[in-house]
Structure 1
Amino acid sequence: MDNDINYGEAIKLLQRVASSEGFLASAQNISNYKRVWARDGVICGLAALASGDENLIETFKHTLETLANNQHKNGTIPSNVMTTEKIVEVSYGGLAGRVDAVTWFIIGICQYAYYKKDKAFVAKYNAVIEKCLQLLEAWEFNNKGLLYVPLSGNWADEYITDGYVLYDQLLRIWALKSYNYFVKDIEITNKIEKITAQIEINFTPNSIGEKYHDRAYNEINIQEFMPCAFSPAGYKTQFDAFANSLALYLNIGSQEFQNKILKYCIALKNQIPLQLLPAFWPPIYDSDLDWNLLKNNCKYEFRNYPNEFHNGGSWTMVNGFFGLALLSKGKTSEASELLEAINKANAVDDFSFYENFNSETKAPNGVPFCAWSAAATVMLNQSINTNFKFLV
């Protein structure tokens, strides 16, 4: 199908979810999605910047303002905000707080300012950002460089990752790099180097340096990708597509190991019927040790059946970031093939832009008209066809 049609439909969906308070998570009339979410809103905002559509970019600005205006006194950025004429409902997380709301917010402020060439926008929110950074420092708990994330503490809120979750460390690096582009602070530069070193020591093979959990590190055999998380109980060794895409995009790990991650990602994508990377792999089954942890981690209904949702399901949003990683490594033809697969998935049921898909059967799952699914098409399309680049 013509990329122009897919791109046009994606832009239309982003326009539909644009409210006076910011981007809503879905055009579907589902209460929890008719809110301005931190991570969803910023990802849609990144797509808005890539599109160059001034109305969408203005909605991104409103998204950031809504989040900043509802920062908790301790520094937490809302997971989501619902605004009506009379009331404002603010959530900082469900079963646990959302660590990635803080880092996505910082990324959003800085990417908007970078695009607009407006340093004053960062300066306006300097106190808000500094409070965020202080909170992230506290969330290390042991002051060794890595964030400690609770179960259910990020976008994979019904999955099994907790402790030193790779995805959150990488988002923090992107946030710090984005902010430091403007403030050029030596302490932040040192912090970026410290976190990067700790990721490479604890998440890459044959690393030199004192490990957080030496015994656990020696028990696993890191070969083709960075494991998704570790905690005092040991490592969770599943492949995390979002995290490994960010590692490639941010150029973390040796060149040799990054090449292995790329090779693994492309091979895995090619074996999946959708030709998309699953969010986490392999799926967890009811015979696996982690099944009990997985089946109990849901507030409403269980959705993490094998090959679905976070448990091996495929998300076009996640693949949008894998596409950016491919481009950053000069893999333009592979990125173009991935964009075709993203567009094909987003076009199912007359462009329903489903949240995710069963990686085995290709059946759609979750909420339709999901805004960040549209964002994936826009970000990758513009990065390929107009050479658009984010601040990295």
Structure 2
Amino acid sequence: MNPEDKKLIESAKKAATDVLLHNAHGTVADLPRTAGWGYPEPYTRDLLISALGIATTGNKQLLQSVKNVLLTLANNQSEHGQIPSLVHDKRNLGSSDTTPLFLMAVGIFRTLLDDPHFLEAAVEKAVVWMAYQCPTNHYLIAQQPTSDWRDEQWVLGYGLFVNTLTYSGLKFLKKEGPAKNLGDAIGQLTYASDTSHKCPHEGLAINDQPYFALWSYKVYSSDRFDLLGNSLAILSGLASTEKAQAMVKWIENECQAMNRKKNLVLDLTPNFFPFILPEDPDWLQRYDEFNRPGDYHNGGIWPFISGFYIAALVAAKEFDLAEKKLLALTKLIKKGRNKSLEFGFNEWYKAQTGEPMGQDWQTWSASNYLYAAACVQERSTPFFDTIRLNSQRQPNLL
């Protein structure tokens, strides 16, 4: 990387920290806000995902803000262990990913605080809640459509993201037995691709593909590609180094094909592909207004997910490619809807144009940029390194 590019990345890191400090105090109970001007609410999933990048900064003010979020969530946890969708509102329930995100963030902060029992009671309740989300007692976690971060896209039954997230949380908390059971279940083939019925129970692996299914339930599954869930599979060690490298090669080939067809103008990966088209059987009427091909959850470029993918590239030892993607992300996050901003850190960008379409100064966009930059510069994946190495020592995982 040349000196100019290094200087640009350092400028972006400083800007990301400034965004996070700006957003550290919102309008509700002195909790962080989700974006600089839009989204003043403290959305749980956004703030817990931001814990990862903030944890690499060493900034005491930011670390304290995340700790306050975790303490507040523990106080607002439901009777049965579920974590609310808004940090301050115990009545706002229904999200499938907030509870496993809580487990992951607490596990990270136990390391930072050197306190293996931090929020012990809340963690134990949350672990029980997640166990009861399995309808078959075969360990995979089920969810309702639009209940994870994709509030405008249907993920049915056993979603990859929620399951890899739960696995990661259990590993961070050193709950090795439940983590192994869930990891083994994820690694089973989907029934749709297991034509010879080798697997005793359905899973999320796809026969003859290097990546995991978006979702699976009984005889149905979706083999559309979920960048976030598969990046977590690589980071957490659910995918072996060989599988991870094969997955990266497949991803990059697919992106080149999308570039040639003008479905993608950036050197960054859409959050989801192939895009759902109006003529496809999984197209829903509402998508025409909120989730067009290449937009939002249907293939938009989300910087926070790009951050996870860059980290996954480092985990797969694809260091040169990770550096290249970090530079592409750095140039993209300069663009905001507010043209006066030096760095926009927008929520998401349209795949076919690269234009910013969401809110500027998004907390998780800034935070995961910092995490990606730390991974590339250190050639390691803070916090995930340990759980990945432990996972890949287990012979039953793919």
Q: Could you state the TM-score of these two structures normalised by the residue count of structure 2?
A: 0.84
Alpha-carbon offset, residue 265 of structure 1 = 2.1
Measure the CA separation in 1 of the matches of 2:208 and 2:91.
Answer: 37
Alpha-carbon offset, residue 23 of structure 1 = 2.7
The answer on 1:353 being equivalent to 2:345 is yes
- Within a 5 Å distance, the mapping from 1:89-238 to structure 2 comes to 89-90=89-90, 92-93=92-93, 97-119=94-116, 123-180=117-174, 188-203=175-190, 208-212=198-202, 222-232=208-218, 234-238=220-224
Alpha-carbon offset, residue 389 of structure 1 = 1.1
Task: Tell me which protein shows more strand as a share of its residues.
Answer: 1
Which of 99-108 and 259-268 deviates more? Answer: 259-268
Measure the CA separation in 1 of the matches of 2:176 and 2:69.
Answer: 28
Task: Tell me which protein shows more helix as a share of its residues.
Answer: 1
* Maintained 8 Å contact 2:190/2:202: no
Q: Residue 70 of structure 1 aligns to which amino acid in structure 2?
A: N
Q: Residue 300 of structure 2 aligns to which amino acid in structure 1?
A: G
* Maintained 8 Å contact 2:213/2:226: yes
CA-to-aligned-CA distance 1:107-166 (integer Å, 9 cap, x gap): 1111012023233xxx24111111111111111021111011110121112112120111
Aligned twin of 1:246: 232
* Maintained 8 Å contact 2:69/2:87: no
The answer on 1:43 being equivalent to 2:37 is no
> Which of 383, 394, 397 is equivalent to 1:390?
383
> Which of 78, 84, 91 is equivalent to 2:84?
78
Aligned twin of 2:298: 311
Per the alignment, do residues 253 and 390 of structure 1 end up closer, same or farther by CA in structure 2, a change over 3 Å counting? closer
Measure the CA separation in 1 of the matches of 2:280 and 2:374.
Answer: 41
Measure the CA separation in 2 of the matches of 1:235 and 1:209.
Answer: 15
Aligned twin of 1:281: 273
SS in 1 for 2:299: coil
Alpha-carbon offset, residue 179 of structure 1 = 0.8
CA-to-aligned-CA distance 1:169-204 (integer Å, 9 cap, x gap): 111111101111xxxxxxx42222211111111359
Aligned residues: 361
SS in 1 for 2:124: helix
* Maintained 8 Å contact 2:234/2:240: no
Structure 1 stretches of 4+ with a deviation exceeding 4 A read: 203-208
SS in 1 for 2:173: helix
* Maintained 8 Å contact 2:52/2:368: no
* Maintained 8 Å contact 1:21/1:66: no
SS in 1 for 2:307: helix
SS in 2 for 1:235: strand
Alpha-carbon offset, residue 17 of structure 1 = 0.6
Alpha-carbon offset, residue 267 of structure 1 = 2.8
SS in 2 for 1:211: coil
* Maintained 8 Å contact 1:315/1:357: yes
Alpha-carbon offset, residue 209 of structure 1 = 2.5
Per the alignment, do residues 320 and 127 of structure 1 end up closer, same or farther by CA in structure 2, a change over 3 Å counting? same
* Maintained 8 Å contact 1:228/1:238: yes
Q: Residue 241 of structure 1 aligns to which amino acid in structure 2?
A: L
Aligned twin of 1:184: none
The answer on 1:59 being equivalent to 2:65 is yes
> Which of 354, 364, 369 is equivalent to 1:372?
364
The answer on 1:262 being equivalent to 2:248 is yes
SS in 1 for 2:104: helix
The answer on 1:329 being equivalent to 2:316 is yes
Q: Could you state the TM-score of these two structures normalised by the residue count of structure 1?
A: 0.86
Where structure 1 has 5 or more consecutive residues not aligned to the other structure, the ranges are: 83-88, 181-187
